[in-house]
Amino acid sequence: MSVFRIPYGDSTIGAELPERTRVIRQTNKPLPALPDPAQAVRDALNSPIAHEPLSKLVSSKSKVTIAFDDPIAYVPQEKQPGFREVAIKVLLEELNKLGVDPYNIRLVCAGGLHRMWTPSELATILGDELVSRTSVSRLFNFDAEDKDNLVFLGETKRGQEVEVSRLVTDSDQLIYVSHPWVHFNGGWKTVVVGLGSWRLMRHHHRPFAKASGKSVLDPKRSAFPKLLNELGAVIERELAKKGRRVLVVEGTMNNKATQELVQVVAGHPPEAHEKGLEIMDKQLVVDVKGQSDVVVCGMDNKRDPYSKLSFINPILVRNLALSYTYGLFQNVPLVKPGGILIVCHPCPRQFDALKYQPYVELFEKVLPQTKDAIEIWDLYAEEYAHRPEFVHKYRYGYGFHGSHPLIIYGQGIYGLNYLSHVFLAGATDFEAARRVSLTPFASVEEAIAEAENIMGKDCSITYLDMPQPFICNVEP
């Protein structure tokens, strides 16, 4: 037996794994950091990809919106000052040089259906100085329920509705500061999801019973980026009528424990994002030969994006297991079809009720009656999205949109449909684990023993040694 300390919530758990266990680790060397991030932003703005430079996009009379990614991410730690702070300060300096009136510049946190963020929380990504000197009428969160400030632009050929912030069409120039942490972030996702309403989101942020299960971290195979480009094309056609185009400024990081900026590009969203994808492939993707009957992986709370500046709950533990552990693959899953995933986490029955009110209700009232993600979506999605108390909490109380827990819960069906079991090792509340469709065990050793009982004593086992997340490009 080999002894490992495995990530486990806010700590680690000791475990003996069989000698035949294959261990996979991050092997990609970190790319060198940019010596001057601010200058890199200026250079990108002067030489954008498939776009005009900033100097040709605005005048002294322009109304400019700078939208940016919200704090949600599983970037473990970013070298300070962070990319969004650096990029926005450079943009404000450049706009000032071009004579744009500060009164006509808006900074918008593009959180989609995520919760909104207080000024002190925004300061964690923008810096205290920028937040403190910008008035609340110039720095604010996108509100997906503000009907007066949404605009419907039409449908894609698939009939998917495109409704986004009115700032997208009413601004003389929309600039989006994008900070992708994995492949499915960036590109057109910035605008169509970050500034999209429930009417838009309900088409694709939902569970699909017959979906192929391709990973959204695999842009060559996943249908998700194709769908985002179709939605973006509707926005692009509308803006073209006014001679405008979205300008994205995208920063990509290396894979150090404290991540550093290695590339900045500016330009039209899909073309600029291609450059970011190249860096993410080099930093995050590890080639792996062969699938495994059983995969073991620890789950550090820092890897969960949706509990940022709060704490994790059982529904988010389920998502961390099935989206951000099982789903960290390209080509095919690391686990064989019908295999077993063993994840390590205490999964305590705890909720931040101030920010996660709809999560509490889903867990306490719905899941005891049905765990079927498709049925839950069909029965409750529209109700939760429009429930007055949930809407009020989202708009004025820094709570997640009512639909959000159903979106997160629904994402788990792809892993559950593919695997035979998902074991939760080290569970401290067995009933809470079962309620989110995870089979609890007190220890890793007990979970492995049961996996061997099901899959055979000689079943193949892989341990993902993952202090930071990476993506396995798996050759069957």
pLDDT tens for 454-463 read 999 999 999 9
DSSP 404-418: HHHHHHHTTHHHHHH
Q: Would strands 421-425 and 439-441 be described as parallel, antiparallel, or unpaired?
A: parallel
Identify whether the C-beta of residue 332 lies closer than 8 Å to the C-beta of residue 476.
yes
CA distance 299 to 326: 11
Length of the chain: 476
Mean pLDDT of the chain: 96
Identify whether the C-beta of residue 211 lies closer than 8 Å to the C-beta of residue 138.
no
Residue 73: predicted pLDDT:
80
DSSP 395: H
What Cα–Cα distance (Å) separates residue 82 from each residue in 48, 75, 298, 476? 21, 11, 27, 38
Three-state secondary-structure class, residue 75? coil
If pLDDT is split at 50, 70 and 90, which confidence band does 341 have? very high
CA distance 91 to 66: 8
Domains identified in the chain and CATH numbers: 2-28+290-475 (3.90.226.30), 37-284 (3.40.50.11440)
The predicted-structure confidence for 191-224, as pLDDT tens digits, reads as follows 999 999 999 999 999 999 888 889 999 999 999 9
Query: Taking 80 as the threshold, does the pLDDT of residue 74 lie above it?
Result: no
Residue 76: predicted pLDDT:
62
Query: Taking 60 as the threshold, does the pLDDT of residue 386 lie above it?
Result: yes
What mean pLDDT do residues 423-446 have?
98
Peptide bond into 469 cis (omega under 30): no
Identify whether the C-beta of residue 317 lies closer than 8 Å to the C-beta of residue 345.
yes
What mean pLDDT do residues 98-105 have?
97
CA distance 465 to 467: 7
How many Cβ atoms are within 10 Å of 85's Cβ, its own excluded? 23
> Whole-model pTM?
0.96
Percent of the chain exceeding pLDDT 70 equals 99
Residue 75: predicted pLDDT:
57
Tokens of 378: 């069909």
DSSP 363: I
What mean pLDDT do residues 334-356 have?
98
CA distance 204 to 263: 30
